[in-house]
């Protein structure tokens, strides 16, 4: 379905930028600051160690360089036929070529002394107050994190965006894997330029610009593999179905982190998008997305007006939702906030990164750099942090990585007394601004974990720990949902690392309304869906089953779109003859051939209003 968004304004005065989309880029950029060109090799080189089944290394010579036999001094057969070599091929590609002829293959990692890691890139700085350089790296404590790890090229980050300019001089020596262009339905070769907007290249630079090469900037993760996924066109717009496909494709092709510096306002809960997010999360992928800028001067509370995809995780916190902070750890006016969908904050104002298009003129600007502001710029800091965590704790699950990122953030609520709609930001900026060094510290197994129902010894309050947040349990939900759940008695300290989320919601299928208000909602997949009068009758709902809560309680739960008619029904509007078949909560337009061939003509067609029809999620047409 092609839903449109109006003009998006950049934060820098007198600059503007149009983005019309079902999902839009959340970005504000200034003009490019430099356009230096430097000829460099495009291929990333990996160092490997392999133990072959025999001493014949001729096969390695066909794709490897710097070949060297290891342990030649030893007569122990355990170390025989071991070689080191360099290659531009990925590990999976080499394994295919060596199938059946090797015992093991691994990266030949570079070790270092305990000296503090630093970089010689001219825009890099150790000063978190240097607004003209990369202040976000020291502010978020990346420097201390680099003393533990600078990343690992086996960790693949899928950048779902406008593409990436892999020929940019500060990216071309980074490791790339193949990607995909969902706008043109073609593959993206490693290290090519697939970005015709510039936004994806900015995001990629924050994650993994080549570090310590004496030019430009440094990425948050020095060692990483970037996967360009183009799901937004040259205007920075794309459909939710394209984004959904991109998530699944990236998952199936080896991504372990997905960066989505994008989002849309005013959209309904999309089943296809939620299903794609669930698919990736259940495959152990870390998913990071933007809280959004609302294309407005003042950001809004996304509990009231959800942004997708960051709020499309069915209240299971499968997405790490990120809002932006400035150099003083304050929420900028443009950044959205909220308890349900925001998990952490990260630097997102006046962020310097790579770019290949001038955002003012729209003209090509090879090898350029620009300052950007927006929650888009905050997301890749968290993705880079996830890369470091996946590198240092290779056995950690995506849940454990998410929980570490949230639990180790530095609280900043006290620094934001009036930044959220004129009031305090307490609880609305997630657990705080990320702290990379703290997240990489070893720790003992926590006493309180996801899935626990806990009760504070001091106050008696009950919480459900879910998605690394604590959700207050009101009496009705306790009796309905947690009546038989074991309760763990805890102290304030035991749950201090879990930021407060929305209230624990009632079970799916519960009808709820706020006291003094007429709108009835249907709870489903952790969201509340408004129910129109016509839909209420179609489901044969009963007014006696509606549960009434306070407005604060109902407003705490994230809204989906209008509840769609029951699955299997055929619907149309009085003015438009197009018939839709409802499958899995999505309306699919059908043609006459499909209508007859599937025997649907024996069923009645239900009429719905034009206004309701516009609000229902639409899927691909079914035609014959």
Three-state DSSP string of 91-118: HHHHHHHCCCCEEEEEECCCCCCCCCCC
199 as an active site residue: the answer is yes
Under 8 Å CB-to-CB from 538, ≥6 apart: which residues? 565, 566, 569, 606
Listed in sequence order, the residues at least 6 apart from 552 whose beta carbon sits closer than 8 Å to its beta carbon are: none
| pLDDT higher than 80, residue 39 | no
Instruction: State which of 107, 132, 148 marks the end of a domain.
Output: 107
Catalytic residue selected from 168, 199, 269, 471? 199
Q: What is the pLDDT of residue 231?
A: 94
Does residue 15 have a pLDDT over 50?
A: no
Q: What is the distance between the terminal CA atoms of the chain, rounded to a whole angstrom?
A: 20
Q: How does pLDDT run across 345-396, given as a tens digit for each residue? A: 999 999 999 999 987 788 899 999 999 999 999 999 999 999 999 999 999 9
Task: Provide the residue count of the chain.
Answer: 624
* Co-location of 102 and 121 in the same domain: no
- Residue percentage of the chain with pLDDT more than 90: 55
Q: How far apart are CA 463 and CA 471, in angstroms?
A: 5
The closest alpha carbon to 153, from 252, 61, 221, belongs to 221
Is residue 10's pLDDT more than 50? Answer: no
The residue range of the domain holding 523 is 511-556
| Alpha-carbon gap, residue 450 to 457, rounded angstroms | 19
Radius of gyration of the chain (CA): 26
Q: Is the pLDDT of residue 22 over 90?
A: no
Q: Answer yes or no: is pLDDT of 260 > 60.
A: yes
Look at residue 415 and tell me if it is in a domain: yes
Task: Specify whether 56 is located in the same domain as 181.
Answer: no
On whether residue 191 sits in a domain, the answer given is yes
Query: Does the structure show a pLDDT above 70 at 35?
Result: no
Least confident of 143-152, 290-299, 504-513, 517-526: 290-299
Q: Which of 128, 237, 289, 376 is catalytic?
A: 376
Residue 17, pLDDT above cutoff 50: no
Residue 343 pLDDT > 50? yes
Please give the pLDDT value at position 609: 87
Report the share of the chain in percent with pLDDT over 70: 89
Confidence label for 507 from pLDDT (cuts 50, 70 and 90): very high
- Looking at per-residue pLDDT, the higher value among 474 and 312 belongs to 474
CB of 179 closer than 8 Å to CB of 347: no
* Parallel, antiparallel or unpaired: strands 257-260 and 151-161: parallel
Least confident piece of the model among 119-123, 272-276, 424-428: 272-276
Considering the domain boundaries, does residue 30 fall inside one?
Answer: no
How many domains is the chain built from?
5
Q: Are residues 80 and 123 in the same domain?
A: no
154 within domain boundaries: yes
**pLDDT band with cut points at 50, 70 and 90 for residue 296:** low
Together in a domain, 533 and 465: no
Mean pLDDT of 210-239: 94
Same domain, 218 and 261: yes
Q: List the one residue out of 148, 170, 187, 142 whose CA is nearest residue 42.
A: 170
464 and 540 in a common domain: no
The encoded tokens of residue 397 equal 């699950």
The predicted pLDDT at position 12 comes to: 27
Overall average pLDDT of the 503-510 stretch: 94
Contact (CB, 8 A) for 221 and 207:
yes
Q: What is the pLDDT of residue 110?
A: 54
The answer to the question of residue 5 being in a domain is: no
* Mean of pLDDT values over 483-510: 91
Vertex 307: Cα angle to 396 and 195 (nearest 5): 75
- What is the spatial distance between Cα 402 and Cα 55, in angstroms, rounded to a whole number? 44
pLDDT of residue 37: 33
State phi, psi for 260 to the nearest 5 degrees.
-125, 90
Q: Calculate the CA dihedral of residues 413, 419, 420, 424 and round it to 10 degrees.
A: 50
pLDDT at 615: 78
H helix intervals, 230-374:
240-252, 271-282
Please check whether residue 42 is in contact with residue 215, taking contact to mean a CB–CB distance below 8 angstroms.
no
Same domain for 172 and 83? no
**Cα dihedral 471/473/474/480 (nearest 10):** 130
Residue 579 in domain: yes
Q: Residue 462's pLDDT is what? A: 96
Residue 172 and residue 320 share a domain: yes
64 and 143 both lie in a single domain? no
Residue 43 has pLDDT above 90, yes or no: no
Pairing of strands 286-290, 319-325: parallel
H or E, element range at 370: strand 364-373
pLDDT at 536: 92
343, 318 contact by CB (below 8 A): no
> How many Cα neighbours within 13 Å face the side chain of 187?
6
Give the residue-averaged pLDDT of 88-115: 74
Q: Which of 165, 182, 310 is nearest to 226 (CA)?
A: 165
pTM score, whole prediction: 0.73
pLDDT class of 289 with cuts at 50, 70, 90: very high
Band of the pLDDT at 314, cuts 50, 70, 90?
Answer: confident
Whether 269 is covered by a domain: the verdict is: yes
Q: What is the CATH number of the domain that holds 195?
A: 3.40.50.200
- Reduced to 3 states (helix: H, G, I; strand: E, B; else coil), residue 492 is helix
Q: What is the pLDDT of residue 135?
A: 97
Average predicted confidence (pLDDT) for the chain: 85
**Does residue 458 carry a catalytic annotation?**
no
- In terms of domains, do 131 and 215 share one? yes
435 and 539 in a common domain? no
For residues 305 and 498, the model is more confident at 498
Residues 518 and 471 in one domain: no
Question: What is the distance between the alpha carbons of residues 539 and 545, in angstroms, rounded to a whole number?
Answer: 13
What is the structure's pLDDT at 265? 59
Measured CA to CA, the distance from residue 567 to residue 581 in angstroms comes to 8
Q: Is the four-CA dihedral 286, 258, 169, 374 of positive or negative sign? A: negative
Is residue 16 over pLDDT 60? no
Q: What is the pLDDT of residue 129?
A: 94
| Identified catalytic residue from 121, 161, 170, 450 | 161
Q: Which of 155, 166, 566 is nearest to 385 (CA)?
A: 155
* Amino acid 353: pLDDT: 96
Query: Given this model, what pLDDT does residue 298 score?
Result: 64
Lowest mean pLDDT among 6-10, 50-54, 424-428, 459-463: 6-10
What value does the mean pLDDT take over residues 242-271? 85
Alpha-carbon distances, residue 11 vs 8, 18, 137, 297 (angstroms): 10, 13, 22, 8
Backbone angles phi, psi at 143, to 5 degrees: -60, -45
Residue at 364 is within a domain? yes
């Amino acid at each position: 379905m092609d839903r449109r968004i109006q003009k998006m304004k950049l934060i820098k005065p007198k600059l503007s930028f149009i983005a019309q989309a079902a999902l839009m880029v959340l970005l504000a950029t200034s003009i490019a600051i430099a356009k230096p060109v430097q000829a460099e090799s495009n291929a990333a080189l990996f160092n490997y160690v392999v133990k072959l089944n025999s001493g014949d290394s001729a096969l390695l010579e066909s794709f490897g360089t710097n070949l060297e036999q290891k342990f030649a001094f030893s007569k122990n057969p355990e170390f025989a036929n071991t070689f080191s070599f360099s290659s531009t091929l990925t590990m999976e590609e080499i394994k295919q070529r060596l199938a059946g002829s090797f015992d093991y293959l691994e990266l030949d990692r570079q070790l270092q002394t305990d000296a503090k890691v630093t970089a010689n890139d001219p825009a890099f700085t150790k000063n978190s107050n240097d607004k003209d350089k990369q202040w976000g790296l020291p502010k978020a404590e990346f420097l201390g994190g680099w003393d533990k790890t600078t990343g690992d090229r086996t960790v693949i980050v899928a950048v779902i965006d406008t593409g990436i300019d892999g020929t940019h001089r500060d990216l071309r020596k980074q490791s790339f894997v193949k990607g995909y262009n969902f706008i043109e339905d073609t593959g993206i070769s490693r290290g090519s330029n697939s970005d015709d907007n510039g936004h994806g290249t900015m995001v990629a630079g924050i994650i993994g610009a080549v570090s310590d090469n004496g030019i430009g900037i440094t990425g948050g993760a020095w060692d990483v593999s970037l996967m360009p996924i183009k799901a937004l066109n040259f205007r920075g717009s794309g459909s939710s179905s394209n984004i959904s496909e991109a998530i699944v494709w990236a998952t199936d092709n080896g991504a372990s982190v997905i960066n989505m510096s994008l989002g849309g306002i005013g959209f309904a809960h999309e089943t296809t998008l939620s299903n794609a997010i669930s698919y990736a999360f259940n495959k152990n992928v870390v998913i990071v997305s933007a809280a959004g800028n609302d294309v407005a001067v003042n950001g809004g509370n996304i509990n009231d007006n959800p942004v997708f995809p960051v709020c499309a995780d069915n209240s299971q916190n499968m997405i790490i939702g990120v809002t932006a902070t400035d150099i003083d750890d304050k929420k900028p006016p443009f950044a959205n906030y909220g308890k349900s969908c925001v998990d952490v904050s990260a630097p997102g104002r006046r962020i310097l990164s790579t770019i290949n298009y001038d955002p003012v003129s729209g003209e090509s600007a090879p090898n350029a750099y620009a300052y950007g502001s927006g929650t888009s710029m905050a997301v890749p800091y968290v993705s880079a942090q996830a890369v470091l965590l996946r590198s240092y704790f290779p056995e950690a699950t995506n849940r454990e990585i998410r929980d570490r990122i949230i639990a180790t953030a530095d609280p900043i609520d006290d620094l934001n007394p009036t930044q959220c709609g004129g009031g305090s930001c307490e609880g609305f900026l997630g657990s705080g601004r990320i702290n990379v060094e703290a997240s990489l510290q070893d720790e003992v197994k926590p006493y309180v974990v996801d899935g626990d129902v806990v009760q504070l010894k001091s106050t008696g309050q009950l919480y459900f720990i879910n998605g690394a947040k604590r959700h207050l349990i009101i009496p009705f939900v306790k009796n309905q949902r947690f009546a038989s759940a074991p309760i763990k008695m805890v102290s304030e300290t035991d749950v201090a690392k879990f930021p407060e989320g929305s209230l624990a919601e009632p079970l799916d299928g519960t009808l709820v309304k706020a006291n003094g208000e007429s709108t009835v909602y249907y709870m489903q997949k952790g969201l509340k869906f408004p129910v129109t009068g016509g839909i209420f009758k179609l489901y044969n709902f009963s007014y006696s089953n509606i549960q009434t809560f306070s407005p604060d309680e109902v407003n705490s739960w994230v809204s989906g779109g209008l509840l769609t008619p029951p699955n299997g029904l055929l619907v149309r509007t009085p003015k438009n003859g197009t018939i839709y078949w409802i499958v899995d909560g999505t309306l699919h337009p059908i043609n006459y051939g499909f209508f007859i061939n599937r025997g649907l003509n024996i069923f009645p067609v239900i009429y719905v209003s034009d206004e309701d029809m516009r609000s229902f999620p639409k899927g691909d047409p079914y035609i014959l």
